[in-house]
A = this chain, B = another copy of it.
Amino acid sequence: MSSDSTSAPAGRRRRDAGATKQALLEAAQARFAQVGYESTTLRDVAADVGVNLALIKRYFGSKEGLFKAALAASPRLMNDVPAGRASLAEALSRQLATDSWPEFDKHPVLMLLRASGDEQVTALRREALEGAAQRILDALGTGSSPADRSADGLLRAELLVALGVGVAVLRSAVGLEPLASVSAEELAGPIQGIVDGLMA
């Protein structure tokens, strides 16, 4: 779908700063998610896009800068989740199965887990995950069950985030079967059970 950018001369993308920057960003996201911060080399990222290494410095300042940009450009986790337990479980199942992430090792959540020591990165990471937890909590907030409103509602939401993080890791980094190749459909039942059990 989004293979080629806006108005690029197809063959060799040349002299289009925006497109180059975007391509670098995507390549970086993939590399960071797949092999982590340290193992990702800027040479590889540049080579993926087919441009010179120095452009990364030009556009992102440094490796840290590229990482932060890649992190910031990641899609929001658990975005637009309709209210209600059923739709939450369904959204979780879908996002954790290969359906929405054919190349699962590039799942944005994986990048979140790769360290870089930097303080700002840690903050970005935390914000992203806190946001996901909050959105999960919101999706459950309309329910009448006492647990939804309880003091530890956020904790329960975070446990669902943890579940998602764990599934992503086990799928991609470990390849644990049958989890690694389960479909959204097959995942739906157990996830629904977890959500219900957690909020009972």
Contact = CB atoms under 8 A, between A and B. Distances in A.
A81 interface: no
A48 B41 CA distance: 28
A190 to B, nearest CB: 5
B130 A176 contact: yes
Contacts of A163: 159, 162-163, 166
A155 interface: yes
Interface in A12-69: 34-36, 38-39
Taking chain A's interface residues, is the majority helix, strand, or loop, or is none over half, making it mixed?
Answer: helix
Nearest to A171: B162
Interface residues of A, number: 50
Interface stretch (A1-9, A72-80, A121-129, A135-143): A121-129
A175 interface: yes
A169 interface: yes
Given A162-B163, A167-B162, A155 B129 contact: no
A173 B129 CA distance: 12
Interface string A106-149: 00000011011100001001100110010000000000000000
Interface string A66-105: 0000000000000000000000000000000000000000
Nearest to A34: B116
B193 A197 contact: yes
